[in-house]
């Protein structure tokens, strides 16, 4: 399946490189040499997992979907045709979309959905990017099955900054429910309560032998003793963070969110939804079959979650097949220490362009709320704490999607769809981590609105992300579109500028940061890419509940600092 589609792609990209006219902005790019064309058809297929059959939405009938292979600075053109009955968009997670905000993909932020039967062609350049990223549906909860890897190799002749692996493999982690994902989201919203735990975790769509009916539904990598493998780990999970480990083997982290890191070696790691981590694994153990395990990291209190791990096999050539595989040791589900230790060790290989001066000092709280129940039946209270409705917010604002995209509203000066008064600091200051009154709907109510924060072109931004304890503290994977940011600091408790230690030497350069449970993270970036950029928790349920906001980054001067016109085929609202 992968083979035939990549042949197809090679042929097409060869043909296209002869005549595809490059867009207006492309004249200025240091073009990597190739334009790569992909054809994505959003299609529904029937699958059977864990002894039950259901219809899932996919790209090209594949789950996980097709891999986009490219080199740094390549131009990517993906024609997405929606052959499913549902609205669809695709987001290229981690692609910085320099001057191509129109191709970013979050529904109602940069575009309206591609309706059934329609198509839209995404065009963007992988400008100065290399490593592992991924693409996923950015509408409702369709990401569960509409996802795939983006593998960007360095330019020809440029080596990896680590020993060349014998082979590479992509491992996409996910979650699986028997329910239809659109129906599941609707039910969660209607109830006001928490989502049900996943039926299973998945590794490249396989749950592995620990779940019912799945003894043979196991992903496997065959390995040659003595060789070193590069595993490109991607979390496409919806609502769970995961620990990952391989029995008996160490993991050397060499890249996170498609940026090289100083190599460091661990027994296990945590990966949040939206993160990608490349690890080197040396097959240096006795010939056998070893488990690769994906289990839960759950930092919140009183949440029910799937506690059974997904298992894949790391299988040495020559291992006898009736052998039981060796079990991997994962941390316990709430081992925050492992998470913080890993974060501490994550350092950029080269941190260039880290702003030392700051123009915009922002402070956003990140957490949950309990809003008033508006159930039509007054006797039937909602399923959230104290009979309220669970919500989530940044600076206590629960984001509401507009019904045409923010980018179109901004670009065309359409009034009344959003306001530009997203607060740069919380409107109320309190002991964020400990002082929030729990379970009192009146005091945990969020503001509801479509608010954005406007940034001048080129402003150097520092943003403190502070977790709150309302309902529960929790590690939230916060993702910013259109940029990577330096994670210059993090800690537990409330951020205190007097005592916070910042790393301005070699901080990691990420697109998604798991803000420590009951703690904070400080990020920095230069707002030099004009457009409307979504920032949100990468747990889909928190996104649904409003844990998001958008930045508008204004144009600068001249064509290299100005957002171009929208593409002619931008979907109609
Ligand atoms: Cu990976 Cu806004 O998403």
CA angle, corner 208, sides to 203 and 212, nearest 5? Answer: 130
Q: What is the mean pLDDT of residues 499-522?
A: 98
Give CB contacts under 8 A, 24+ apart, made by 185-192. Answer: 185/140, 185/141, 185/540, 185/544, 188/541, 188/544, 189/544, 191/382, 191/383, 192/373, 192/375, 192/382, 192/383, 192/384, 192/388, 192/389, 192/390
* Ligand 1 atom nearest residue 536's Cα: 2
How far, in Å, is the centroid of ligand 1 from the Cα of 93? 6
Average pLDDT over residues 6-18: 37
Taking the centre of ligand 1 as the mean of its atom positions, its distance from the CA of residue 411, in whole angstroms, is: 22
Atom of ligand 1 at shortest distance to CA of 543? 2
Q: Could you give the CA distance from residue 210 to residue 193 in angstroms, rounded to a whole number? A: 28
Please, which pLDDT band fits residue 33 given cuts at 50, 70 and 90? low
* Average pLDDT of the chain to the nearest whole number: 92
Ligand 1, residue 93: give the atom nearest the CA: 1
Contacts of 186 (CB under 8 A, 6+ apart): none
Other CB atoms within a 10 A radius of the CB of residue 331 amount to 18
- For the residues 499-508, what does the mean pLDDT come to? 97
Ranges 5-19, 278-292, 473-487, 539-553: which has the least confidence: 5-19
Q: How far does residue 512's CA lie from ligand 1's centre (Å)?
A: 9
pLDDT (average), residues 411-431: 95
* Gap from CA of 497 to ligand 1 centroid (Å): 30
**Ligand 1 centroid to residue 324 C-alpha, Å:** 38
Which are the contacts of 210, defined by CB distance < 8 A and separation ≥ 6? 308, 309, 310, 311
- Atom 3 in ligand 1: residue holding the nearest Cα: 93
Please report the pLDDT score of residue 487 as a whole number. 98
Cα 481-171-235 angle, rounded to 5 deg:
35
Q: Using the mean position of ligand 1's atoms as its centre, give its distance from the Cα of residue 139 in Å.
A: 10
Residue closest via CA to ligand 1's atom 1 equals 93
pLDDT at 379: 60
pLDDT reading at 27 higher than 50: no
Instruction: Quick: pLDDT tens for 387-405.
Output: 899 999 999 999 999 999 9
CA 170–ligand 1 middle distance (angstroms)? 19
**Does 2 have pLDDT greater than 50?**
no
- Identify the residue whose tokens are 């290399």: 130
- Ligand 1 neighbours, Cβ below 6 Å, are 91, 93, 106, 136, 138, 274, 479, 481, 534, 536, 538
Atom of ligand 1 nearest to the CA of 534: 2
Alpha helices in 20-91 (DSSP H): none
Tens of pLDDT along 51-88?
A: 999 999 999 999 999 999 999 999 999 999 999 999 99
Q: Return the pLDDT at 1.
A: 33
Distance 234 CA to ligand 1 centre (A): 13
The ligand 1 atom nearest the CA atom of 512: 1
- The H or E element containing residue 336 is helix 336-345
Q: Is the pLDDT of residue 499 over 80?
A: yes
Q: What is the pLDDT of residue 18?
A: 33
pLDDT in the model for residue 8: 38
Ligand 1: distance of its center to the CA of 283 in Å?
Answer: 34
How many Å apart are CA 364 and CA 424, to the nearest integer? 7
Model confidence at 507, in pLDDT bands (50, 70, 90)? very high
Q: Which ligand 1 atom sits nearest the alpha carbon of residue 134?
A: 1
Say how many Å lie between the CA of residue 143 and the centre of ligand 1: 9
Q: What is the pLDDT of residue 322?
A: 73
Q: Please check the confidence at residue 45 and state whether its pLDDT lies above 70.
A: yes
- Residue 464 φ then ψ, to 5°: -95, 125
Order across the sheet with 35-49: list the strands. 52-59, 35-49, 75-82, 119-125
The pLDDT assigned to 3 comes to 35
Note the pLDDT of residue 375.
73
* Whole-number Å distance between alpha carbons of 560 and 117: 35
Give 106 Cα–ligand 1 centroid separation in angstroms.
Answer: 7
- The model's pLDDT over 287-340, given as tens digits with 9 standing for 90+, comes to 999 999 999 999 999 999 999 999 999 999 999 877 689 999 999 999 999 999
Q: Where are any strands of DSSP class E within 126-211?
A: 131-137, 147-153, 167-176, 200-203
Separation between Cα atoms, residue 330 and residue 345, nearest integer Å: 19
- At 432-465, the pLDDT tens digits run 998 755 544 447 899 999 999 999 999 999 999 9
Summarised one tens digit per residue, pLDDT across range 78-122 is 999 999 999 999 999 999 999 999 999 999 999 999 999 999 999
Q: What is the pLDDT of residue 13?
A: 39
Name the percent of the chain lying above pLDDT 70. Answer: 92
Ligand 1 centre to CA of 557 (Å) is 29
- Ligand 1 atom closest to Cα of 94? 1
Higher per-residue pLDDT: 11 or 416: 416
Phi, psi angle pair for 430, to nearest 5°: -155, 180
CA of residue 563 to ligand 1 center, whole Å:
21
Confidence of residue 47 (pLDDT cuts 50, 70, 90): very high
- pLDDT greater than 90 at residue 139: yes
Q: How far is the CA of 274 from the centre of ligand 1 (A)?
A: 7
Instruction: Using alpha carbons, select from 437, 473, 455 the residue that is nearest to residue 359.
Output: 455
Radius of gyration of the chain (CA): 23
Is the per-residue pLDDT at 25 higher than 80? no
> Does the pLDDT value for residue 280 go beyond 70?
yes
The CA 504 to ligand 1 mean position distance, Å, reads 27
């Amino acid at each position: 399946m992968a083979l035939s589609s990549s042949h197809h792609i090679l042929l097409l990209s060869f043909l296209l490189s002869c005549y595809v006219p490059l867009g207006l902005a492309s004249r200025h790019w240091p073009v990597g040499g190739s334009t790569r064309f992909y054809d994505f058809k959003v299609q529904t297929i029937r699958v059977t997992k864990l002894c039950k059959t259901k219809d899932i939405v996919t790209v090209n009938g594949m789950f996980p979907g097709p891999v986009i292979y490219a080199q740094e600075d390549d131009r990517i053109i993906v024609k997405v045709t929606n052959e499913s009955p549902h609205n669809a968009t695709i987001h290229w997670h981690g692609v910085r979309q320099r001057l191509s905000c129109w191709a970013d993909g979050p529904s109602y932020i940069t575009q309206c959905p591609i309706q059934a039967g329609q198509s839209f062609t995404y065009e963007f350049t992988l400008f100065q990017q290399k490593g592992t990223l991924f693409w996923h549906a950015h509408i409702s909860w369709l990401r569960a099955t509409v996802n795939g890897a983006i593998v960007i190799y360095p330019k020809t002749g440029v080596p990896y900054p680590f020993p060349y692996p014998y082979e590479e493999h992509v491992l996409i982690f996910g979650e699986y429910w028997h329910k239809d994902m659109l129906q599941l989201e609707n039910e969660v919203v209607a109830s006001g309560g928490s989502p049900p735990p996943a039926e299973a975790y998945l590794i490249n769509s396989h749950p592995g032998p620990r779940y019912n009916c799945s003894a043979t539904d196991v992903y496997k990598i065959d390995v040659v003793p003595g060789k070193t493998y590069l595993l490109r780990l991607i979390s496409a999970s919806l609502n769970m963070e995961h620990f990952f480990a391989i029995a008996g083997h160490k993991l050397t982290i060499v890249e996170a969110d498609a940026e090289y890191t100083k190599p460091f070696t661990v027994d296990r790691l945590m990966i949040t939804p939206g993160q990608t981590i490349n690890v080197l694994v040396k097959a240096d153990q006795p010939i056998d079959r070893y488990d690769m395990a994906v289990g839960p990291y759950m930092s919140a209190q009183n949440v029910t979650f799937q506690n059974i791990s997904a298992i894949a096999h790391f299988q040495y050539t020559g291992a006898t097949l009736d052998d039981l595989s060796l079990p991997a040791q994962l941390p316990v589900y709430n081992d925050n220490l492992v998470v913080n230790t890993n974060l501490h060790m994550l350092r950029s290989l080269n941190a260039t362009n880290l702003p030392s001066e700051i123009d915009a000092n922002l402070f956003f709280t990140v957490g949950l709320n309990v809003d008033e129940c508006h159930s039509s039946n007054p006797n039937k209270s909602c399923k959230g704490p104290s009979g309220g409705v669970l919500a989530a917010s940044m600076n206590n604002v629960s984001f509401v999607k507009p019904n045409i995209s923010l980018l179109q509203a901004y670009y065309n000066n359409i009034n009344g769809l959003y306001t530009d008064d997203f607060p740069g600091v919380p409107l109320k200051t309190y002991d964020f981590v400990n002082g929030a009154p729990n379970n009192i709907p009146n005091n945990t109510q969020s503001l509801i609105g479509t608010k954005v924060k406007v940034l001048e072109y080129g402003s150097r931004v520092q943003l403190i992300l502070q977790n709150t304890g309302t309902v529960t503290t929790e590690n939230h994977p916060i993702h910013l579109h259109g940029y990577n940011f330096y994670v210059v600091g993090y800690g537990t408790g409330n951020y205190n500028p007097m005592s916070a230690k910042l790393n301005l030497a070699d901080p990691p350069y990420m697109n998604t940061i798991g803000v420590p449970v009951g703690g904070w993270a400080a990020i920095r970036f230069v707002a030099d890419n004009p457009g409307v950029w979504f920032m949100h928790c990468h747990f889909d349920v928190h996104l649904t509940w409003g844990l998001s906001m958008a930045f508008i980054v204004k144009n600068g001067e001249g064509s290299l600092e100005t957002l171009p016109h929208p593409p002619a085929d931008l979907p109609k609202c």
